[in-house]
Structure 1
Amino acid sequence: MKAVFLVLMVSLNVIAQSKPANSTKLGEVLPLDATGRVQYQVVEQIGNTNKDELFQRARRWFAQTYKSANASLQISDAATGELSGKGTFIVRPTSIGIPQDTDVDYSISVEIKDGRYRATIDNFFVRVKTIQGPIETVKGASKGFMQKVYDQTNDQVYTLLLSLNRALKTPKSDF
């Protein structure tokens, strides 16, 4: 019995020591860059599609995804293959059982090259009632409330990235 207890204690100690002291995720969900800011970044291969065609698909995605692509797009440079802009989505975490509409602003950039792209989503800013600030340092909200914001933000960003990926992999119809 003592041997089983000793093995269990040693195993728990190894597990506890294997977790990094400085987590690379905020709330165990949102990825952090080297400076401690939340940042999502993906690089995807898109077969043999040239830069110009991918750029047009990305422009079309911006127009379909945002109410006003011109308002959200700040850079649209076909020569460099760069598109960047700002967006907002709403998450609805609950506080004492009541959903709280919470705006999450962010920046998005898409860099296009022949056969591939890189998408970066960062600069997250949270706004709900009287509470606002960068998602990494927002003050005045409970830890449980912010965890719900983190979880729902993560879901929204993955949905956005999946939508972009589908759009860039789908050729334009001739009609």
Structure 2
Amino acid sequence: MKKILLIGFLLIGFKCFAQDEQPSFIPPLQDGSVVYQKISEAKDKSKTDIYSKVFDWYMYSFKGEDNKILNQQLDLGHFSGNGSFKISEKGTFGMTIVYKVDYTITVDTKDGKYRAIISNIRHTMLDVKVDAFSEKYLVNVPEEQDLAIAKGEVKGYNKSKKQAAVQRMIAIDTEVNNVFASLDKYVNAKAADF
């Protein structure tokens, strides 16, 4: 009986000191930062035609004071701007928590194709009264922080907070892919599609 109890305590001890499991979802990383990238075909379109479509798509899709063009270089086929979307998650007691997610989108064009990059992803919890202490936890949080929480690299977060960080990363991933799909549809649309 003593051996069984000793083995039981040892197993519990090993579990307590074991490293945290890897999260079920890890966003794409580039040099330690979360960066999404997609290269797409735009058959039979010149660099200038693609750039024009990208610019029109941005102006149509990203209305609002927070969405600003950062850089335009038609001769190089380079465009970048700010974008944002909202995600939500279930909080404690069934509350819905809404986050505004801000990011930078960069598009480089060439004849017949383009590359879209979404980077500098950060989120802010909306509809929350923020004081000086909690501001660093709720405002302009980089997605890399959620990844660190999910991996257990940041102390003081329990299992449900880690899971919430994973769910935010998954929601952001879904919306980023929706942005890419929207851009693809716009760039490759025929005039009759509008």
Scaled by the length of structure 1, the TM-score of the pair is 0.76
Matched, 1:161 2:180: yes
SS of equivalent to 1:91: strand
> What do the CA deviations read for 1:129-150 (whole angstroms, capped 9, x no partner)?
4423211125787112212211
Conservation of the 8 A alpha-carbon contact between 1:62 and 1:69: no
Find the counterpart in structure 2 of residue 144 from structure 1.
Answer: 163
> Which of 143, 164, 188 is the matching residue for 1:135?
143
Deviates more, 1:89-98 or 1:65-74: 65-74
Residue identity opposite 1:152 in structure 2: A
1:107 equivalenced with 2:107 (yes/no): no
For residues 150 and 61 of structure 1, the distance between their equivalents in structure 2, rounded to whole angstroms, comes to 25
Shift of 1:29: 4.0
- Is the Cα contact below 8 Å between 1:57 and 1:172 reproduced in 2? no
4+ residue segments displaced more than 4 Å: 68-71, 138-141
Work out the CA distance in 2 between the residues paired with 1:29 and 1:161. 19
Aligned residues: 150
Shift of 1:167: 0.7
What residue is the counterpart of 1:76 in the other structure? 72
Q: SS at 1:92's partner residue? A: strand
1:68: Cα distance to partner?
A: 4.5
Distance in structure 2 (CA, Å) of the matches to 1:135 and 1:71: 19
Unmatched segments (≥5 aa) in structure 2: 1-21, 129-133, 150-155
Using the TM superposition, give the Cα deviation of residue 71 of structure 1 relative to its aligned residue in structure 2, in angstroms.
4.6
SS in 1 for 2:33: coil
How far apart are 1:104 and its partner, in Å?
Answer: 1.1
Aligned-residue sequence identity (percent) comes to 24
Q: TM-score, normalised by structure 2?
A: 0.69
